[in-house]
Amino acid sequence: MLVEAKGVRKIYDARGVSTLALDGIDLCIEAGEFSALAGPSGSGKTTLLNILGALDDPTEGTVRIEGKDLATLSGSELADLRLRKLGFVFQSYNLIPVLSARENVEFVMELQGVASGERRKRALAVLDEVGLAELANKRPLEMSGGQQQRVAVARAIASNPLLVFADEPTANLDSTTAGELLDLMAGLNRDRGTTFLFSTHDPQVMEVARRLIRLRDGRVIEDSRRDGG
């Protein structure tokens, strides 16, 4: 079992008002899955993605990654887990504007302590894999939104993480570009065996996901798999 959540609840308190974002989520993600958390705004999908990705803590319940209870890990151990085992792709790309595409892809590997020559070699290889070899020296503002998101995917997979979390990765893209990005990630899932978990309200993502987990009001209301998933 790659990721396991049991009885996960999340309550936000703001100005004396409590909001229940997640209400008793039980969920398991296996290695090699290509899955999507789907639902309207306010359904809890991004909150759940952040908790599963060790970016946020549940109010109640447990989350385990490779059998390790995240609640037992220190802050530095959680940071190391995110750095070495998990990849992240965000709606807003989150690229560093002063760095080139290659340097952005190298960034996580640099934090991991990978030697500079090896970082460069792996970054160029993965940029070629996502179809952006010719843009290796371009900065984010010199690229289209779709190209920036491909760089973000390249950065996420360059260190061979166990699991890539993608939060609304197609939200800022037109349908054609979104389709190309989804084809890319599906190919990485198929060829590399990279596990992907999306949060989305995009019908295109729901169409290609091999497992669809629908949320409403912080609860799982459907968990279905397609043939081959």
Angle, helix 101-112 to helix 75-85, in steps of 10 degrees: 130
Instruction: Give the angle subtended at the CA of 153 by the CAs of 2 and 118, to the nearest 5°.
Output: 90
pLDDT classification of 16: cutoffs 50, 70, 90: confident
6's tokens:
């049991």
The domains found in the chain, sorted by start residue, are 31-59+71-225 (3.40.50.300)
Kindly state the average pLDDT of the residues 6-16. 93
Q: What is the pLDDT of residue 126?
A: 94
Q: What is the pLDDT of residue 229?
A: 45
Kindly state the average pLDDT of the residues 134-160. 94
Q: What is the pLDDT of residue 14?
A: 84
What is the residue-averaged pLDDT of the chain?
Answer: 94
Q: What is the pLDDT of residue 27?
A: 97
CA distances to 3, 12, 40, 44, 214 from 185, rounded to whole Å, are: 20, 33, 23, 23, 21
Give 186-216 pLDDT, tens digit per residue: 999 999 899 999 999 999 999 999 999 999 9
pLDDT classification of 15: cutoffs 50, 70, 90: confident
Percentage of residues in the chain having pLDDT higher than 70: 99
Give 155-176 pLDDT, tens digit per residue: 999 988 999 999 999 988 999 9
DSSP state of 95: -
pLDDT classification of 81: cutoffs 50, 70, 90: very high
Residue 128 CA to residue 64 CA, distance in Å, equals 34
Give 88-137 pLDDT, tens digit per residue: 998 888 999 999 999 999 999 999 999 999 999 999 999 999 999 999 99
Residue whose structure tokens are 């397609």: 226
pTM for this prediction: 0.92
Q: What is the pLDDT of residue 228?
A: 53
